[in-house]
């Protein structure tokens, strides 16, 4: 079924590299089966005694459908050792805004609190807020659950969205640094004014005691921790999923280049729904011939990565039994 060894390719079932990771991101063009592959790897890891959390960040959640059991906003056990959660960007954004409001209520005087909350509500309507809130929730999961889990699998939205999420640490770190610098200047200015009008015993507060600066510093530290884990190639990997067709190939090549430029480890490229060799009929032979052109192109353009080939099955993939067939194609029995 799989192409011969060489050019970076691997026959079906001979790779256990995915189970050696602590954090895996699955991404790809919509409709190529990334949720199926992410679910299959998560299930395979749990079957080998690992504690696994499967996180769906795709707005079009289908993990519940694949496992034939409801996921939700709160983590729950799907089967022994496998826990699942579906993150809702809109819900996370609302929760994120409410948390910010609670935090500022302790920082501002009542005379300006109402205006500050109004500004926050206006900001909540800007594009990208859901992405920020979603990433913040992902950060919390990475920081809080990594130590008591063996593997966290993120089933992400289509490629462009998932790439934006992975670049969030870089963008948000720069943003926090800029905010901190402006806040530090403002606090220093206020301290200078206070030194003139206040009694000496009231002038002793250091700039670093400012609660907003402390909150920004804590957030910056969390981002640094998450970024270091995302960049740790031994523990973290990105899996690109595609089907042997022209448009998914082009999108995958671009995504792989973007990830490499950002020092993100592409640990596997899964070519899904590959036609079996022994197909009958003139139509299927023609499709197989066209597919072989794309298979050769995948080897030529993506052969530097670890390639895995998953066959097209005669029925839809849903339920544990069919997921285990995908698991067998992606993970060796030796684990």
Specify if 4 maps to a domain.
no
Specify if 252 maps to a domain.
yes
Residue 8 zone, left/alpha/beta (φ > 0; ψ -120 to 50; rest): left
Predicted local confidence at residue 201, as pLDDT: 44
Specify if 9 maps to a domain.
no
Asked if residue 93 has pLDDT above 60, the reply is yes
Q: Which of 78-87, 187-196, 220-229, 312-321 has the highest mean pLDDT?
A: 78-87
Specify if 131 maps to a domain.
yes
Specify if 12 maps to a domain.
no
Asked if residue 189 has pLDDT above 80, the reply is no
How confident is residue 86, by pLDDT bands cut at 50, 70 and 90? Answer: very high
Provide the 8-state DSSP code for 233.
Answer: T
Query: What mean pLDDT is predicted for residues 182-204?
Result: 56
Query: What mean pLDDT is predicted for residues 105-131?
Result: 73
User: In sequence order, which residues have a C-beta less than 8 Å from that of residue 2 and are 6 or more positions away?
Assistant: 9, 10, 11, 12, 309
Answer for the pair 291, 244: CB distance below 8 angstroms, yes or no.
Answer: yes
Query: What mean pLDDT is predicted for residues 225-230?
Result: 86
Q: Which residue range forms the structural domain that includes residue 75?
A: 17-330
**Residues 312-324: b if buried by 16+ CB within 10 A, e if exposed:** eeeeebeebebbe
Alpha-carbon span 237 to 22, nearest angstrom: 8
Predicted local confidence at residue 181, as pLDDT: 79
Of residues 325 and 157, the one with the higher pLDDT is: 325
| Secondary structure of residue 80 in the 3-state scheme | coil
Structurally, the chain folds into a number of domains equal to 1
Of residues 24 and 168, the one with the higher pLDDT is: 24
Specify if 281 maps to a domain.
yes
The per-residue pLDDT of the chain, averaged, comes to 82
Specify if 3 maps to a domain.
no
Q: How many CB atoms lie within 10 A of CB 225?
A: 15
Could you read off the pLDDT of 3-18 as tens digits, one per residue? 434 444 444 444 478 9
Specify if 335 maps to a domain.
no
For position 319, which CATH number holds? 3.40.50.300
Predicted local confidence at residue 107, as pLDDT: 65
């Amino acid at each position: 079924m799989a192409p011969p060894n060489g050019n970076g390719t691997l026959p079906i079932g001979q790779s256990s590299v995915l189970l050696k990771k602590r954090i895996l991101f699955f991404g790809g063009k919509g409709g190529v089966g990334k949720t199926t592959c992410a679910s299959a790897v998560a299930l395979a890891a749990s079957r080998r005694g690992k504690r696994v959390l499967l996180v769906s960040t795709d707005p079009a959640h289908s993990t519940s459908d694949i496992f034939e059991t409801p996921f939700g906003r709160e983590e729950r056990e799907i089967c022994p050792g496998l826990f699942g959660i579906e993150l809702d960007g809109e819900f996370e954004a609302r929760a994120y805004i409410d948390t910010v409001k609670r935090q500022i209520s302790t920082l501002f005087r009542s005379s300006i609190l109402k205006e500050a909350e109004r500004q926050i509500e206006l900001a909540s309507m800007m594009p990208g807020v859901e992405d920020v809130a979603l990433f913040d929730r992902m950060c919390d999961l990475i920081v809080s659950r990594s130590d008591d889990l063996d593997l966290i699998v993120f089933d992400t939205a289509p490629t462009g969205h998932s790439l934006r999420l992975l670049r969030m640490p870089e963008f948000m770190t720069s943003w926090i640094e800029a905010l901190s610098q402006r806040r530090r200047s403002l606090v220093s200015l206020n301290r200078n004014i206070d030194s003139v009008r206040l009694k000496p015993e009231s002038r002793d507060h250091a700039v670093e005691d400012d609660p907003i600066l402390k909150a920004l510093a804590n957030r910056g530290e969390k981002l640094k921790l998450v970024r270091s884990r995302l960049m740790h190639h031994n523990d973290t990997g990105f899996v690109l999923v595609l089907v042997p067709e022209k448009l998914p190939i082009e999108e995958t090549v671009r995504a792989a280049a973007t990830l490499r430029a950002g020092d993100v480890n592409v640990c596997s490229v899964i070519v899904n729904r590959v036609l079996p060799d022994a197909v009958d009929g003139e139509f299927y032979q023609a499709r197989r011939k066209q597919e072989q052109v794309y298979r050769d192109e995948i080897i030529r353009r993506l052969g530097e990565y670890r390639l895995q080939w998953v066959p097209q099955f005669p029925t839809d993939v849903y339920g544990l039994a069919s997921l285990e067939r995908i698991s067998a194609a992606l993970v060796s029995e030796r684990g």
